[in-house]
Amino acid sequence: MTAMASVKPEKSNGETGGPAARPAAIHEEVYQRLRRAIISGQLEPGRALSVRGLAAEFGVSAMPAREAIRQLAAQGALEFTPTRRVAVARMSPEKLQELCDARLALEPVLAARALGAIGDDAGAREKLADTLLAIDETLDKAIGQGDSAAYARLNSEFHFTLYETARAPVYLGLVESLWLQTGPFMRVVIGRLGTAALDDDKHKEIVAALREGDADKLETVIREDIMQGMSNIVRGYSVDE
């Protein structure tokens, strides 16, 4: 797990909850960092994890590492193998189709809600569009350099910067759970197809729809972006592995 070796839980400067509050804070920190690593594709499907290994990597006791694993397993990001080892979840054709259908149902709506949350504030809309464009320009550089790890991380950053604007925690939680299950596969797919296969993404069209304040167009291009990404997973990843 070298991609996460330097990640350590950060101490809070405002811990006022006493001894009982610190274990909960540590668990949340471990959970959030491991969750982000999975969403952004830092951990490939089938990658074995252990409580002891995670605890050592994060510099914590076994309890918060075990709880983070339990929580992510409940969300479908991790799975228990027949030998009771814990690993990043693998895929099946049925699961892939279900994830695709769920993303298509939820993410376009969440994107439209983000636009609705901004409302008529043209300045806020432009600021968000500029932020997304800056992320996408860095992402394009990663594609040009063949840097699959940077692409996977920046792709998730692009989408969730938009989605978090919606201030819709129920929708956001559901979408995060879907990305927890698809993120690892996108990283594998990029490695096999090459970043050149990602040149025709819909990110600039997403930014354009946001600038125009066109919710219908935004939903359409989000849907097209999802279908392209999921199609790449089908092309580049063998579900029999």
**DSSP calls for the chain:** -GGGTT--PPPPTT--S-TTHHHHHHHHHHHHHHHHHHHTT-S-TT-EE-HHHHHHHHT--HHHHHHHHHHHHHTTSEEE-TTS-EEE----HHHHHHHHHHHHHHHHHHHHHHHHHHTT-HHHHHHHHHHHHHHHHHHHHHHHHT-HHHHHHHHHHHHHHHHGGG--HHHHHHHHHHHHHHHHHHHHHHHHH-GGGGTT-SHHHHHHHHHHT-HHHHHHHHHHHHHHHHHHHHHH--TT-
Residue bearing the bigger pLDDT, 32 or 3: 32
Tokens matching residue 1: 């797990």
Inside any domain, residue 184: yes
The answer on pLDDT for 54 being more than 50 is yes
Regarding whether 172 and 70 lie in a shared domain, the answer is no
Name residue, tokens 């699959």. 148
Confidence of residue 40 (pLDDT cuts 50, 70, 90): confident
Residues 97 and 78 in one domain: no
Q: Is residue 104 part of a domain?
A: yes
What is the reported pLDDT for 23?
A: 58
Same domain, 141 and 203: yes
Distances (CA, A) of 9 to 64, 212, 225: 11, 41, 34
For residue 58, being part of any structural domain is answered with yes
Structural domain ending residue among the three candidates 44, 64, 88? 88
Q: How confident is residue 9, by pLDDT bands cut at 50, 70 and 90? A: very low
Tokens coding 74: 């409940």
Q: Do 97 and 158 belong to one domain?
A: yes
Residue found by looking up tokens 């604007």 in the block:
165
Residue 71 included in any domain = yes
Total number of domains in the chain: 2
Average pLDDT estimate for 110-139: 96
Distant-in-sequence, close-in-space partners of 9: CB < 8 Å, separation ≥ 6: 26, 29, 30, 33, 58, 59, 60
- Give the model confidence (pLDDT) of 65-124 as tens digits: 999 999 999 988 999 888 888 999 887 888 888 999 999 999 999 999 999 999 999 999
Question: 241 in a domain, yes or no?
Answer: no
CATH of the domain at 54: 1.10.10.10
166 and 75 both lie in a single domain: no
Task: For residues 103 and 83, state if they share a domain.
Answer: no
Residue-number span of the structural domain to which 206 is assigned: 93-236
